[in-house]
Every structure is written in structure tokens, then in C-alpha cells.
Amino acid sequence: MPGLEDLFGINVFNDSVMRQRLPKETYKALHKTIDEGRRLDPEVASVVANAMKDWALERGATHYTHWFQPLNSVTAEKHDAFISPMPGGAVIQEFSGKELVRGEADASSLPNGGLRSTFEARGYTAWDPTSYAFIKDHVLCIPTAYCSYGGEALDKKTPLLRSMEALNKQAVRILRLFGRLDATRVTPTVGPEQEYFLVDKGLFDRRSDLIFAGRTLFGSKPPKGQELGDHFFGTIQARVQAFMADLNEELWKLGVLAKTEHNETAPAQHEMAPIYAIANVACDHNQITMEMMKKVASRHNLVCLLAEKPFEGVNGSGKHNNWSMFTNTGHNLLDPGDSPHESAQFLLFLASVIKAVDEYQDLLRASVASAGNDHRLGGCEAPPAIISIFLGDELTEILEALEAGASYSGREKKDMTIGVDVLPKFPRDTTDRNRTSPFAFTGNKFEFRSLGSSASVSDANVVINTIVAESLRQFADELENAADFRSALHDLIVRTIHDHKRIIFNGNNYSEEWVREAEKRGLLSLPSTVEALPCYMAEKNIRLFGIHQVLSESELRSRRDIGLDSYAKMINIEAETMLMMSRRQILPSVLAYAGKLAETHNRVREASVPLACTNGLLSELCGEADKLSDCIDALSDALSRKPAESTPESAASYMRNRVLPAMAALRASADHLERITDRSYWPFPTYDELLFSVR
């Protein structure tokens, strides 16, 4: 069996493969495109395409596809065989540079948010040479951008690449001011930790809510959940460990740097964390990871749930988006070094993030908005919907000293005293880790913790890249025209701290006190998707994306409308599923049990053995069954009254204001019935089975 070094990237047309298979001049020319953003020469593309085809055929591929990420947060692919006809009925296997660089895809059935009419079916895919091609299921997958006939971005990758270029342009301007002429390119890096649940496939198949909605719409909390804290970092069960080992191998073959695996807080919940990568590659890898999690789970008779809140009453799942900026010389611009208070460059880049997050709280919230994530944000396992930054004590003290004009001598580095002589000493970090903060500084990067587990990480990183680029643009404009750079730099950092310190909060983001404090500070509270997504169309945000040529006004509108439309449709699917399960399964099962109970009650009464318990339980069952029937009618009525003509915003508002409360009432009644109905009568697996069956 090959070792990890031989296995890693075996199905990726990566740099080492290109170095071996491409002529030296072609390899150099391709790297100028990748490293410097230069336009790709068609002749170079033809040579690369031929080498890519030969490699793919040797690896067992029969087809190729332009693999892209449309606006529904999943991936799309259309497979074409390498074969071309020859005279006499023969075929040859070909792949041209034109086929590599550009493909045509039917854009008629994918979300577009009004960017094109239904009858305008043509769309284009364009090769992204900065993300390596790979082989999956005998298909050569070529990561591509996807645009309409008119050039509008219909995907997640295109604005991400634009935002990366915007950040690069402005960050390089700042570095030049510091005399860092060797750094000619700055690239954002991302490491998205992925949380997920595993449930038994046999149990999954018996629950319509999991099949149609990806989460449970009914379910009474079991006697034991996560209260004892015994699952987090606990011993991994054999069946789960086998899944993880299989998943790692598949991801490593595809060049995904899967690094960490462990049990998460909730029963049946787990996490996989990769090593960071360039932002667009990390986003591609996260899409691959989610796909592979589902495929590998099925091999083990499991189902991987990526819904943000699949089970009520226990932790939900998110992604922790670890973001930083690296120069082409290998320097992390958010690394404080040993003396952060002495590093003006670090403090300026830190200030740029603080300013960006404060000024564009609404965009950060909108970038993670979805129906599923609304159930999670604000819970005790996720940050609240109020955006704030955690810096830790030392950095906060440094910024306070700068603002006050005071000197800062630095904190004394102390060793941890554990109290056991045989254990080694190690230095204690100068700051703790705040797990309640939406946007936390964690040593040399920022961790945006509000992303939902099923979402593409592209949306959040488009926003982070662009808003930081805007801060840096304003900084560069001011400093480039300063008569005294050092004095202007100091004043700029101090002023930025003073103007935006309201966004910094190092305390408990879960507390009610923080909600009141945040309101006093003037921070935004956008509790649901319905309030968050319209923020894309705020005048300041349209101007922001226009300045940096990341998203046009029409592209922003499309993303707002698609998000709101998806929200309304998802709630509608869930409501219809609840009605189906209630009418066809729950109510008949409860009535059957009530009938059996009544029969038993009558028999014992005839035997002159009165049983008050059967009479009391029967009364409770019948009363709650009547309530359930009323709740079914109320939800059905709410759905029937949906406005026939509506905008995406009004449709989403109706679903939130009218349908969600009716769903909650129906669930409460059904969950009560689950607690008093004989287990043998309950029509589908319960939480205790789903959460504790995978061993």
C-alpha cells in the first residue's frame, strides 16, 4: 500500500506533474499566468491541454468536465468524452486548448437572479489555472468560472477571484509605502473547518424530513444530549473512525490538506479541519470535501448531514473560516511577531480589518445568511447575529495605549505552571481564545465563525477580501500623499482605532448584557435572512463593490434575490414536509395508539378493575391529537394564503412572519405527542436512535 507521500495529490494535475510533463517554456509561461495574473497564451493552453489529457487517460479518466460553482452553493458538471470520430468508424481521444480554456454550459435551469431571461440559455465556463485540475470518478474536473452570455458572473468563483485581485492591488500599495518592494503580490488564504453529523442510513431513510429538508422537523429531545460534555474530543467510535480514514484517503488523493479530525460537542457530530490554502483553492477544496463526505458516508451505510441545525436542542454545525493575507515572499501580514506594538505594518493591516468589519457589519452578516443558518446563529454553539471582533487582552491593550498616547512596555511572557514536575514547561499564550465571537483574532489570522456548514465559503471571503481592500485603498490614498509618512501613519492608526473601537468586544457574546451593550454602541442586529440579504443593495455596498469591480449592481441584486428566493422555497419545502408527515404518519399513529389504549381501558373497566392512569393518558392523547389537527389546519391555511404575486423580499417575509410560527406550533404539539405515545406506535426514528446509533 502506498504511503501518504505517494498517495497525496495522486489524482491532481498539480505543479509537480506539470513540471514533469510540460516543456520548460510552457511551464514558465503557465506560471506567469498563475503567479502574476497574466493572460494565458492560446498556444500554451494547447500544450497544457494535451499533457493534461494524456495524464488523465493514464489515470483512468474517460471524460472531462468544466467543474463550476453556480449560485445555488453546490457544484455543477457536464461530462464530455475525450473521443472524436475518425473516417471508417474509428475514434481518437483528443482535448484541445480551446476545450480547456472555455466551455459552453446551458444556463437556463441554474439560478441567475434576473441576470438573464429563461430563453437565453447560453452560459460560458472559463478555466481557472490557479486551481489545479483533478480526477474524480474517472472524470477530469477542470475548475472554472461561470458567466452569462453578457459577461455577468453566474457563479461563486468569479467574484472571489475579482475580490482577491482587489485585495492584492491595495495591499501591495501599502507594502510599497513600507519599502517592501520584494513583495509583488498579496494573496488571501483560507482554512475552512467543516462540522457535520453522521447518522445511520437505515434510520435516515425512514424520515421524510431528513430526506427532503436535510434536518429534522420533528423530534423530542432525548434524556441525554450533550450535557455531560463526553462527546467533544471523546474516543471516536470504530464505525466513525473507519469513515474518517476513508474520507482522509479520498481527500488526500485530491490534494485536499485534511489535517484534523475529532468528535464535536453534540452526539453524532464531528469536525474535519484542513491546512490553509490560497482562498479560491480553499473554496474549491471545501466544495470537494462536502461532496466527498456524503459519498464516503454512503459506503459505510451512513448519511452525512451538513444542515446547520439538524437536531433541535443540541449544537448545530458551522464552518470556521480562518482568513489571513500572505505575500509572495511568504510573509503573513497578520503575524504580530514577537513585539506587535513595535510593528507599524502589522498594526496598519490590523486596523484595516477592524475598520472594514465595523463599516460593513451588514455585508458580513448577509454573506452567511440562509434559512438553515438562522436556526443556528445565536444558539449556544454559534456566534450571535451581531457582528463584533475579538482581539484578546494584549492587542486590545496595545491599541488602547496607542489611542491614549501612552507607552506600552509589553506583557511579560510567562511559562504555564501545571504543578507536576515531570511535565514540560511551555509558554502561555498572551491571549485566550474566544469561542463566542463571530470574528476573532487567533494568533496570526482572523476566524470568521458565523458561516453555515452547508454554505459555500466563497460568499464570506468575497466580502472579507473586498471590505479589507477598501480600507487599504483609503489608507494608501492618504499615506501616499503624506508629507511625513511616519507621522501620518501614526495618526492614521490612532484615528482608526478611535473611530472603530466599538466593534471590539472581548467578553461573552452569548450574554444578554452584550446585546444591550451592542445596541448602545450602535452595532447592527440582523436576526434573520430576511433582514440581512437586502443589505447587499445598500448604496454604500453597491459603491464598494463597484469601486473594486467585484460585483456590479445587477450582480448584487441577483445574489440578494436568489438568497431570498431560496429562503422562501426552503421554508415552503419544510412546511409541506411537516404537513405530509403529520397527516400521513403522526396523526394516524397517535389515533391508533389512542384506540388501543381505549380498548385496554374498556376491558379493565368491564373487569371492574378501574385504572385512572389509562383514562388520564387517553384524555391527554386525545386532547393533544385535536390540537395537532388544529395546528395542521393552521399551517395549511398559512401556506394557502401565500401571495400569488410577490417580490423575493415580500415572499421571504411572509414565510418568516406567517409560516414559520405555524411550523413551530405544529412541531411543539407533535413533540409532545411523541413523549406520551408508545414507542412501538411512533412512525419514524426518534432522536435517541438517530444520535446514539452509530457505533
- CATH value at residue 364: 3.30.590.10
Note the pLDDT of residue 535. Answer: 97
Q: SS in 3 state form for 496-554?
A: HHHHHHHHECCCCCCCHHHHHHHHHHCCCCCCCHHHHHHHHHCHHHHHHHHHCCCCCHH
Residues 547 and 634 placed together within one structural domain of the fold: no
pTM (2 d.p.): 0.94
With respect to residue 559, please indicate whether it lies within any of the assigned structural domains: no
Band (672; pLDDT cuts 50, 70, 90): very high
Q: Could you tell me whether strands 258-263 and 269-274 are parallel, antiparallel, or unpaired per DSSP bridges?
A: antiparallel
Output the DSSP codes for 552-601: -HHHHHHHHHHHHHHHHHHHHHHHHHHHHHIIIIIHHHHHHHHHHHHHHH
CB-based contact 269:231 (threshold 8 Å): yes
- 331 and 380 share one domain: yes
Interacting residues of 332 by C-beta distance below 8 A, sequence separation 6+: 324, 325, 326, 444, 445
Tell whether 557 is covered by a domain. no
Q: Is residue 562 domain-resident? A: no
Digit-coded pLDDT (tens) for 13-30: 999 999 999 999 999 999
Specify whether 15 is located in the same domain as 111.
Answer: yes
Indicate whether 479 and 591 sit together in one domain: no
What share of the chain in percent tops pLDDT 90? 71
3-state secondary structure 354-418: HHHHHHCHHHHHHCCCCHHHHHHCCCCCCCCCCCCEECCHHHHHHHHHHHHCCCCCCCCCCECCC
Residues in a beta bridge with 324: 189
Region for 45 from its dihedrals, namely left if φ exceeds 0, alpha if ψ lies in -120 to 50, beta otherwise: alpha
Residues sharing a CB contact under 8 Å with residue 616, sequence separation 6 or more, in sequence order: none
Q: Tell me which of 102, 126, 155 is where a domain ends.
A: 155
Q: How confident is the model at residue 609 (pLDDT cuts 50, 70, 90)?
A: low
pLDDT of residue 88 exceeding 50, the answer is: yes
> What does pLDDT average to over the chain?
90
In this structure, the answer to whether residues 269 and 331 fall within a common structural domain is yes
| Res 417: pLDDT | 43
CA distance 126 to 143: 8
C-alpha span between 518 and 379 (Å, rounded): 17
Residue 125 lies in a domain: yes
Residue 107 has pLDDT above 80, yes or no: no
3-state helix, strand, coil in the chain (%, to 5): 50, 15, 35
The rounded distance, in Å, linking the Cα atoms of 361 and 367 is: 10
Q: Residue 341 has what pLDDT?
A: 67
Dihedral (CA of 480, 481, 483, 488) sign: negative
Q: Is the residue at 132 inside a domain?
A: yes
Which structural domain, as residue segments, surrounds residue 572? Answer: 567-692
Of the candidates 503, 506, 507, 494, the one whose C-alpha atom is nearest the C-alpha of residue 522 is 503
Do 126 and 247 sit in the same domain of this protein? no
Could you tell me if 519 and 605 lie in one domain? no
Closest Cα partner for 324 from 227, 515, 514, 464?
464
Percent of the chain whose predicted confidence (pLDDT) is above 70: 93
Q: Chain centroid to CA 127: how far?
A: 24
Domain check: are 572 and 545 in the same one?
no
Residue 220 has pLDDT above 60, yes or no: yes
Q: State the average pLDDT over residues 512-518.
A: 91
Residue 184 phi, psi dihedral angles, 5° rounding: -105, -5
Phi, psi of 307 (to 5 degrees): -60, 145
Q: Cα dist. 686→209, 313, 502 in Å?
A: 12, 13, 45
Whole-number pLDDT of residue 204:
97
At 92 the pLDDT is: 79
**In angstroms, rounded to a whole number, what is the distance separating the alpha carbons of residues 602 and 604?**
6
Considering the domain architecture, whether residues 148 and 283 belong to the same structural domain is answered as: no
Q: Which of 103, 127, 155 is the last residue of a domain?
A: 155
Cell numbers standing for residue 451: 458561516
Residue 558 included in any domain: no
Q: What is the CATH number of the domain that holds 127?
A: 3.10.20.70
Into how many domains does the chain fold?
3
Asked whether residue 420 is domain-assigned, the answer is no
Average pLDDT over residues 364-376: 94
pLDDT surpasses 50 at 233: yes
CATH (domain of 637): 1.20.120.1560
Give pLDDT, residue 641: 94
Please report where in the chains the cell 434573520 appears, as a residue. Answer: 528
Q: Which three cell numbers stand for residue 377?
A: 446563529
Q: What is the pLDDT of residue 420?
A: 46
Q: Contact at 8 Å (CB) between 252 and 7?
A: yes
Q: What is the pLDDT of residues 398-414, one digit of tens each?
A: 898 888 888 776 655 55
From CA 453, how far away is CA 286, in angstroms rounded? 10
Domain boundary among 123, 138, 155: 155
Whether 402 is in a domain gets the answer yes
Clarify whether residues 654 and 636 are in a common domain.
Answer: yes
Could you tell me if 449 and 581 lie in one domain? no
Q: 391, 506 in Cβ contact below 8 A?
A: yes
pLDDT in tens, 117-134: 666 667 888 999 999 999
340 and 380 both lie in a single domain: yes
Look at 31-40, 79-88, 549-558 and tell me which has the smallest mean pLDDT. Answer: 31-40
- The DSSP code sequence of 423-484 is SPP-BPPSS---TT-SEEE-SSSEEEEEEETTS-SHHHHHHHHHHHHHHHHHHHHHHHT-SS
